[in-house]
Amino acid sequence: MRALATTSVDRFRRELHAHPEPGWAEFRTTARLIEELALLQHARVVYGGALGLGERRLGVEPQQQREFARRAVEAGCPTDLIAELADAGTGVVCEFGDGSRGGWLVLRFDIDALAVRESDDPVHAPVAQGFASGIDGYSHACGHDGHAAIGLGVARRVDRLVGQLPLGLGVRIVFQPAEEGTRGAAALVDAGWLRGAGWFFGLHLDALEGLPAGTVVPGTRRILATEKLDVVLTGRASHAAESPELGRDALAAAVDVYAALRGCDWDGATVSCNALAGGEARNVIAAHAELKCEIRAVEWAAVVRARERFTRIVEEESARRGVIARVDTVGRSIGGGSDGPGTSLMRESAERAGLPVVDVRDFGASDDAADLMAATQRGGGIGSYGLLATGGLADAHSARFDCSPAALESGVALMTECVRTVIREMRQE
């Protein structure tokens, strides 16, 4: 692999689209970002052990990591780099200037893909134009390939703006791993990457009911808080016909847990259990079973209360069958929303960039950008998480999700203008 200084934003996005990688396994994606960012004159590029994510990571899947690490090495990525990323975490932080005195302007772009099989319809643009996912069962069905490409385009422009940065202002561009499952942002916050943040801005590509590509929603409300939970049940195997009474049926316990939790709504916190697996053979009482569940609410406090009830129910239902239960947190986000000053700044930036702007909207789902934004707001800073119209009709997480080159260029223009707006405001103080 070799970085190309002339790689366009759209070309880079197509490259990532063809090579989707799930959270904490974005090895090739991270390596390519490092290559491209290293070409910039003023950038400090931080990755691997220097990020400090390591043990702070949530929801790492070792088997998945091994598979995608192998693919990255076969694609030409340096073996030692991939080994470091597997051990310490994927993702990249790119810094310009020094925000240790005046504050950091943080821009966030997520980079991971989904376990969604991409459409093979010949009229689907990635298929028709030859950049559809090359990994069966995975695709960039949420547009993070576009987010990463926009982030690279912004980094290139900020590299040319370094001479305009006021003394004390730094720009920190975060290429965040593992947004899906809300697994990545908490590690970045815990590692201190939002300390000293005075401004936070992020965006998400969205169909927006077919609005023209590049239309901006300058802020979102009601980004839902969530906790992702794996319920691991351990029983005892026995022969299903000869000695079933000697077994402790983990699969039956899992079914009981599912039935007890399905559709629960506790003070506005909803519980979903959407995957269940267990058992080893048809003639063996199941010794192991697992459920994948989540809790969502508008407020994090409601999630915390629901988690306590959730755990109690799991333990009670499992104990009835003599099965041992463990509940693991594999992802979380405290939720939140854009604030007034942050929304106003993004709106002004969109207008200065000549982009159409519509009203603020409810997000209505979870995105751990909210954790980065909330960390900024807790420290006295401002922030906004906006939406950007893709120019397509397919919704996120669908097999036909796509975005136009015009949307990518609009994203670069919007986020670069956010930087310019902060520079202007600081110079006026």
Measure the CA–CA gap between 192 and 87, rounded to whole angstroms.
Answer: 19
2 has a pLDDT exceeding 80: no
Q: What is the pTM of this model?
A: 0.96
Per-residue model confidence (pLDDT) at position 39:
97
Pick the CATH number of 9-223+336-428 from 3.40.50.2300, 2.30.38.10, 3.30.1490.100, 3.40.630.10: 3.40.630.10
305-340 tens-digit pLDDT = 999 999 999 999 999 999 999 999 999 999 999 999
5-31 tens-digit pLDDT = 447 999 999 999 999 999 999 999 999
Measure the CA–CA gap between 120 and 143, rounded to whole angstroms.
Answer: 17
65-80 tens-digit pLDDT = 999 999 999 999 999 9
Q: Which two tokens stand for residue 241?
A: 């016909």
Region 200-220 average pLDDT? 96
Mean pLDDT of the chain: 96
Residue 301, C-beta contacts closer than 8 angstroms, at least 6 positions apart: none
**Alpha carbon distances (Å) from 187 to 272, 306, 422:** 24, 23, 27
More confident residue, 101 or 88: 88
Per-residue model confidence (pLDDT) at position 275:
97
Residue 393 pLDDT grade (very low, low, confident, very high; cuts 50, 70, 90): confident
- Calculate what percentage of the chain has a pLDDT beyond 70: 98
Measure the CA–CA gap between 146 and 265, rounded to whole angstroms.
Answer: 35
353-375 tens-digit pLDDT = 999 999 999 999 999 999 999 99
293 has a pLDDT exceeding 90: yes
154 has a pLDDT exceeding 80: yes
Residue indicated by tokens 């809300």: 182
Per-residue model confidence (pLDDT) at position 392:
82
Domain boundaries, the chain: 9-223+336-428, 225-333
Pick the CATH number of 225-333 from 3.40.640.10, 3.30.70.360, 3.90.340.10, 3.20.20.70: 3.30.70.360
Contact assessment for residue 204 and residue 387, using Cβ atoms and an 8 Å cutoff: yes
Measure the CA–CA gap between 309 and 269, rounded to whole angstroms.
Answer: 11
Per-residue model confidence (pLDDT) at position 6:
47
Region 20-47 average pLDDT? 98
Measure the CA–CA gap between 139 and 120, rounded to whole angstroms.
Answer: 12
Region 152-176 average pLDDT? 97
Sign of the four-CA dihedral 83, 88, 91, 96? negative
- Calculate what percentage of the chain has a pLDDT beyond 90: 95
Residue 281 pLDDT grade (very low, low, confident, very high; cuts 50, 70, 90): very high
Coil, helix or strand at residue 75: coil
Per-residue model confidence (pLDDT) at position 394:
87
Per-residue model confidence (pLDDT) at position 427:
87
4 has a pLDDT exceeding 60: no
Which one-letter amino acid corresponds to residue 230? D
Per-residue model confidence (pLDDT) at position 429:
67
378 has a pLDDT exceeding 60: yes
